C-alpha cells in the first residue's frame, strides 16, 4: 500500500486488521471510532484519533481507509460504512494477511479482507468490502459477492456462489456447486447441500430453512 491507512472502527475485527497491517509494514495513520470511551486510547500501539469526522481532516488523495467493522449477522452496518465513505470520495485498501494462500488468478474487490490462514484457490472472485476470515477455505471457481462475510473456519467447495450481503457463520460448509442468494444468513456449523434462496436463514446438518 503506497498511502497510509486509517482504520474505521476499534473493535475485534479492527484489532486483527491492525496486526495484519503491521505485519505487512503498512503505515497506519490512526483509528477512528464513534465510541467516546475509545478516544485517546491505543490498540497495538496505534492511536484512536476520535470519531468518524476525523477522517475529513485527511484528503482522499492522501490516505486509504480500512473498514474495521466485522459482523456476527448480516453485514448491513459494514456495508453502510463502506458506502458512506465511498460517497465522500475515499478509497478502501485491500488487506491480505501474509500467511494467507491465494492462487495467482484470484481477483479481490476493493476493500476485501483475507485473514490469517485463509486459502483461496484458482478461478475465485471475491467482491468488494467482503471478508474471508481466519482459516476459511475457498476452493476453485467460487464467486463471492460484495459485502459478504465468510466467517472463520468456513469451507466452500468448488464452484460455490455467495450473493451480496450474505453472512456465512463460523465453521459452516457448502458442498460443490451450491448457490447462496443475496442477504442470506447461514448459521454457524451448518452444512449446505442445496441452493438457498435470497433473504433466507438456514441452519443445521443438513441445513434447513429457519422460519421466523
Name the nearest CA neighbour of 39 among 78, 66, 31.
31
- Quick check: is 167 catalytic? no
Taking Cα atoms as reference points, which of 39, 55, 174, 162 lies closest to residue 112?
Answer: 162
The full DSSP string for 157-191 is -TT-EE-TT-EE-TT-EE-TT-EE-TT-EEPTT-E
Residue of 150, 80, 165, 88 whose CA lies nearest to 119: 150
Give the span between the Cα atoms of 48 and 31, in whole angstroms: 5
The residue whose grid cell reads 453502510 is 80
- Write out the E strands in 4-43: 5-8, 28-32, 42-43
Closest Cα partner for 26 from 55, 54, 6?
Answer: 6
Cis amide prior to 31 (ω within 30 degrees): no
* CA angle in degrees (0–180, nearest 5) for 45-72-140: 95
Of the residues 13, 39, 140, 167, only one is catalytic, namely 140
Task: Show which residues are catalytic.
Answer: 140
Amino acid at each position: 500500500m503506497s498511502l497510509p491507512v486509517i482504520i474505521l472502527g476499534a473493535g475485534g475485527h479492527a484489532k486483527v486488521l491492525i496486526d495484519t497491517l503491521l505485519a505487512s509494514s503498512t503505515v497506519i495513520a490512526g483509528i477512528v471510532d464513534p465510541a467516546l470511551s475509545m478516544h485517546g486510547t491505543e490498540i497495538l500501539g496505534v492511536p484512536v484519533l476520535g470519531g468518524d469526522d476525523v477522517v475529513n481532516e485527511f484528503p482522499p488523495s492522501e490516505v486509504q481507509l480500512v473498514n474495521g467493522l466485522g459482523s456476527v449477522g448480516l453485514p448491513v452496518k459494514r456495508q453502510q460504512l463502506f458506502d458512506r465513505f465511498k460517497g465522500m470520495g475515499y478509497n478502501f485498501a485491500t488487506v491480505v494477511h501474509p500467511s494467507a494462500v491465494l492462487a495467482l488468478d484470484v481477483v479481490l474487490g476493493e476493500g476485501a479482507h483475507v485473514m490469517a490462514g485463509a486459502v483461496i484457490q484458482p478461478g475465485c472472485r471475491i467482491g468488494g468490502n467482503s471478508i474471508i476470515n481466519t482459516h476459511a477455505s475457498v476452493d476453485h471457481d467460487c464467486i463471492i459477492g460484495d459485502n459478504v462475510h465468510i466467517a472463520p473456519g468456513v469451507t466452500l467447495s468448488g464452484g460455490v456462489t455467495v450473493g451480496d450481503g450474505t453472512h456465512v457463520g463460523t465453521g459452516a460448509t457448502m458442498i460443490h456447486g451450491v448457490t447462496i442468494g443475496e442477504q442470506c444468513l447461514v448459521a454457524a456449523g451448518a452444512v449446505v447441500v442445496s441452493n438457498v434462496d435470497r433473504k433466507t436463514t438456514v441452519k443445521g446438518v443438513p441445513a434447513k430453512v429457519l422460519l421466523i
